[in-house]
Amino acid sequence: MTVSAPASTTRTISLRDGLTVTVQEFGENSDGTGVLMLHGGAGPRSMAGFAAGMSQHAYVVVPTHPGFDGTPRPEWADSVADLASAYLDLLDELGLDGVMVAGSSVGGWIAAEMGLRDNRGRISALVLLGSTGITPEPPLEIANPANLGPVRTGELAFHNPDLRLNPATLSEEQKAGMAANQRTLAVYAGDPFCHDPKLRGRLHRVTVPVLVLAGEQDGIVPLEYERALADAFPRGTFRPVPEAGHFPHIEQPGTVFGAIGDFVDTEVKPEG
């Protein structure tokens, strides 16, 4: 028997200093806890299936980073740190505690920065999927889609060729939207691209359990980079995901959900 995921709703929430955030919500905030899902440069649609699946077990919120998908971005909001603070404000606004924050790619970096700044103890765990954030040790490097183009980016991002984007099928409007999202990504995480040279030295202050999931065939962020990221957290757990690239939650959702379930049982709520 297949259990259908709760329907989603979309609304815009005003936070501070002219910042508004559009959020997609799956399920209902019935017990004051839930999952916050943070997308990377691929935009909020890259989290939709993951959010729908997770919503069978929890209330899920997927914000669109201001500036993505045509949403407004105030001039002062121009860093990953700004997004991390804004999303902690969002948790306050929603009245959520015991929150699992799951982030993909640069969304994982935002999640880690939230963990550093969570002085109200609202976050219970982090799940980082193909995450960026720390400086790669040479010869490792993070590939920049803006330099690669969409075809090569798809080849590096997805193990399954059927999931790779075919630019020939896109309308001019879709191409313009993708280009605008890449420009917004560059504002938040552009120089140095997708990492903060000082972040690794601060992650020892993140006290909640952290699960780092990495596609074994990820050509955007190397597997060994993800292993080093997990090692930077006092309670970090590293799990490689076979037959997956930069989006393991898209290519291997069953494996990802299984790993999260094990992580919750052993690290987040070991006493049930």
CATH (domain of 107): 3.40.50.1820
What is residue 269's predicted lDDT score, i.e. its pLDDT?
84
Task: Report how many domains make up the chain.
Answer: 1
Would you say residue 114 lies in a domain?
yes
Domain presence at residue 70 = yes
User: Is 231 inside a domain boundary?
Assistant: yes
Confidence of residue 30 (pLDDT cuts 50, 70, 90): confident
pLDDT for residue 54: 96
Residues 6+ apart with CB under 8 A from 23: 10, 11, 12, 13, 61, 62, 63, 64, 90
Residue 60 has pLDDT above 50, yes or no: yes
Domain membership of residue 4 (yes or no) is: no
Nearest residue to 126 (alpha-carbon basis) of 52, 197, 212: 212
Whether the pLDDT of residue 3 is over 80: the answer is: no
Please calculate the CA angle 140-250-124 and round it to the nearest 5 degrees.
Answer: 80
Is the per-residue pLDDT at 204 higher than 80? yes
Nearest to 179 by CA among 238, 223, 20, 170: 170
pLDDT of 92 > 70? The answer is yes
pTM above 0.75, yes or no: yes
Does residue 2 fall inside a structural domain? no
pLDDT at 246: 98
Beta pairing class for 210-215 and 123-129: parallel
Q: How far apart are CA 86 and CA 50, in angstroms?
A: 22
Cα end-to-end span (Å), the chain = 26
Write the single-letter amino acid at 237.
T
Report yes or no on 113 lying in a domain. yes
- Which of 104, 10, 22 is CA-nearest to residue 64? 22
pLDDT at 207 over 90: yes
CA distance 115 to 208: 8
Is-contact 51 129, C-beta < 8 A?
no
What counts of helices (H) and strands (E) characterise the chain? 9, 8
Q: How far apart are CA 59 and CA 63, in angstroms?
A: 13
State how far the Cα of 215 lies from the Cα of 170, in Å rounded to an integer.
27
Give the pLDDT of residue 1.
Answer: 38
DSSP sequence for 207-246 = -S-EEEEEETT-SSS-HHHHHHHHHTSTTEEEEEETT--S
The pLDDT tens digits for 64-90 are: 999 999 999 999 999 999 999 999 999
Model confidence at 5: pLDDT above 70: no
Does the pLDDT of residue 267 top 90, yes or no? yes
To the nearest 10 degrees (0 to 180), the angle between helices 172-189 and 80-94 is 100
With pLDDT > 90 as the criterion, what percentage of the chain qualifies? Answer: 92
Contact 229, 211 (CB under 8 A): no
Structural domain contains residue 15: yes
Return the percentage of the chain with pLDDT > 70, whole number: 97
pLDDT of residue 2: 46
Domain residues for the domain of 137 are 9-268
Q: Would you say residue 218 has pLDDT above 80?
A: yes
Section 31-35 average pLDDT? 95
CB 87 within 8 A of CB 64: no
Q: Which of 154, 160, 125 is nearest to 54 (CA)?
A: 125
Q: What is the pLDDT of residues 97-112, one digit of tens each?
A: 999 999 999 999 999 9
Q: Regarding beta strands 236-241 and 35-38, do their DSSP bridges make them parallel or antiparallel, or are they unpaired?
A: unpaired
More confident residue, 61 or 271: 61
Q: What is the pLDDT of residues 107-151, one digit of tens each?
A: 999 999 999 999 999 999 999 999 999 999 999 999 999 899 899
HSE-up of residue 62 (Cα within 13 Å, Cβ side)? 24
**Is 1 domain-assigned?**
no
pLDDT above 80: residue 4? no
Q: What is the mean pLDDT of the chain?
A: 95
